[in-house]
Amino acid sequence: MVTLSIIVVNWNSDVFLNKCINSIFKNKSRYSFEVILIDNNSNDTSLYSVKEYGKKIKIIKNKKNFGLSKANNQGIQRSRGKYLLFLNPDVEILPHTLDRMINYFDQNPNIGALGPTLLNEDGSLQPSYFGFIDLSHAFFEISSLDRIFPKNRFNKFILGKILGNLFKNLFANYKEYREPQKVSVIMGSCFLTKKDVLHRVGYFDEHFFLYHEENELCYRMKKKDLDCMYFPAAAAIHFNKHITSKIQERVFIERCRSHYYFFRKHYPRKIALFKIVAVAALHINIFLCLISNRKMIASRFFVMKELMKS
């Protein structure tokens, strides 16, 4: 029986995909594993870059880009493992990470999801977990103020302490823990769970094309009294945003759609308030685009038009 199924969703990530797959096989895990690669209709050389692995990888080729959630669900349906690791193609697994994560999961039966420390290429820390989506979260991302106020300890103090509870969830649990810690949401770039857990809470919601699909899944885990754990004894390098920077306007639109759908699904009574917050955030974003000479205003007006129609 296969212990671990590693599911990688690829879209035009030839620069990183080979490194990602290499890092999996170099881990030399003592557990049996399989690698399932779902390609969302790439038009680059990424699949050719992993040709050397042959039948060691199951490859599913989609004829169109189905988005992240649906592709992940395709991988789940084809998987044979007790454990499922959802891995971005721009992530390199560091030595011993796979075994350490599975060992810890095995010893703690109430875990729903487990995530390692995520590192930048230079070895510095990047956020590995965050809070559930709320109005402050939506406001900061839609306005792009999260670029001005990144999620670090200084801004946690300024926004969380001085301005009060409004921004509390935005910086939830943002600390450099040295021991395993219960958190709200594990980053989807390296996300370990069990197939039994997904049978209990459901697969990824395919309304999320890109972004926040893991946030919504962790939210459902919480409702089933399952823990999401940050596990710093394991680590991976995440070459964050190198791929999506090619399609920034589409990414912005999908991120906003994900926020809207999350509220419509889980906080339907707050949807009118969400729209007010989103429109205010879009006006700030447009202003920031104008003063920084960023040529991405069209996507902001598109989102505003969609909000008005909904």
Residue 34: its H or E element: strand 33-39
Whole-angstrom distance, CA of residue 16 vs CA of residue 39:
14
User: In the Cβ-directed half-sphere of 17, how many Cα atoms lie within 13 Å?
Assistant: 26
- pLDDT value, residue 281: 93
- pLDDT value, residue 87: 97
- pLDDT value, residue 14: 83
- Asked if 169 contacts 132 with a C-beta cutoff of 8 angstroms, the reply is yes
- pLDDT value, residue 89: 95
Residue ranges in the chain modelled with pLDDT below 50: 154, 162-166, 172-173, 243, 245
Ranges of each domain in the chain:
4-130+176-241, 133-171+267-310
Whole-angstrom distance, CA of residue 101 vs CA of residue 94:
12
- pLDDT value, residue 162: 47
CATH placement of domain 4-130+176-241? 3.90.550.10
Indicate the residue type of 308.
M
Whole-angstrom distance, CA of residue 196 vs CA of residue 82:
8
Whole-angstrom distance, CA of residue 25 vs CA of residue 175:
31
Could you give the angle at which helices 297-309 and 271-292 cross, rounded to 10 degrees? 160
